[in-house]
Structure 1
């Protein structure tokens, strides 16, 4: 099971706002090319985001379903990947001084991805999640700047 901890120099409300923003899902979830459909109720339990993954001309349609949502504390997603199966990604958000700690726990549930689960897969998931957390950190910082009233034109792109 790939578990990562990440500290954000922002209040957990800011981190939660980024996690709960379905329109930005493709901006931080590694491998997601574009959002095809976002359920307006996102991130309510049972709501979904349909998205495309792939590289170059290869493009596949997948979806993420919210299984558990406890605002500001916990978000658990099931990513359904067709023949590859399904993966559970759980986010637990803890207040930590002036900031927040996000714990990400990802593991395959069923399908081909579950059969490939083991040390090599853990390394790949760990690297992927490190990049995902870097992307999420950039979005939290961007939302923090926007909340401070800094105009978009004065921001330097990531």
Structure 2
């Protein structure tokens, strides 16, 4: 798995509030273009986000399912990313000392499908760039959150 870390000024509960709102998923996940439905009490285990990837007129409908959820600490997801397969995504939130905010650790790699056959160095470079931007977006949303 490739791991990207990002530090945000937002406290851990504000970062979690963004992650816990399934309708915001497309606002911070690079590649997700719209949310079609949030199934189950997100982000509880087995809950799903039905989202689309791409842009009109070429949109693929996919879903992301919660594998593990520990409020304000860890969210583990299984993301379908057609046509590449499925990836395991982990988001870990670590509170920084002295009200300095939160470190967000995002780990991801393909676990099935054609994406797994892409050479590791190339696959990880692409995931790193995408996930860095996703964490930047997540951070902006959490820092602007008034909750």
Q: Distance in 2 between matches of 1:24 and 1:130?
A: 17
Alignment of 1:1-158 (within 5 A): 1-97=1-97, 98=99, 99-143=101-145, 146-147=146-147
Structure 2 residue runs of 5 or longer lacking an equivalent are: none
| Counterpart contact for 1:78–1:87, Cα < 8 Å | yes
| Counterpart contact for 1:108–1:117, Cα < 8 Å | no
Shift of 1:8: 1.2
Q: Considering Cα pairs closer than 8 Å and 6+ residues apart, tell me whether 1 or 2 has the greater RCO.
A: 2
Q: TM-score, normalised by structure 2?
A: 0.94
Residues paired across the two proteins, number: 145
In terms of fraction of residues, the more helix-rich structure is: 1
CA RMSD of aligned residues (A): 1.2
Q: Distance in 2 between matches of 1:76 and 1:24?
A: 17
Structure 1 residue runs of 5 or longer lacking an equivalent are: 148-158
Q: TM-score, normalised by structure 1?
A: 0.87
Shift of 1:55: 2.8
Secondary structure at 2:43 match in 1: coil
Runs of 4+ displaced beyond 6 Å:
none
Shift of 1:81: 2.7
- For residues 77-127 of structure 1, the C-alpha deviation after alignment (integer angstroms, 9 at most, x for no partner) is 000234421000001111112111111000000011111141011111110
